[in-house]
Amino acid sequence: MFTRILARAGGGPVDVDAQVLAGVVRPVLENLRQGALADLF
């Protein structure tokens, strides 16, 4: 949702940055979620 807003607002270069940002943030969030689950069990 957030990356789509950035892409619409900026256009070409911002769209690429948004994709890269999403590619970086998703694995971090996945690791945090898995780490939190591991700590719980």
Q: What is the pLDDT of residues 4-36, one digit of tens each?
A: 655 555 556 666 677 788 888 888 888 888 887
Tell me the C-alpha distance between 34 and 2, whole Å.
Answer: 23
Contact 18, 6 (CB under 8 A): yes
Task: Provide the pLDDT for residue 5.
Answer: 56
CA angle 4, 9, 21 (to 5 degrees): 50
Is residue 3's pLDDT more than 60? no
Is residue 41's pLDDT more than 80? no
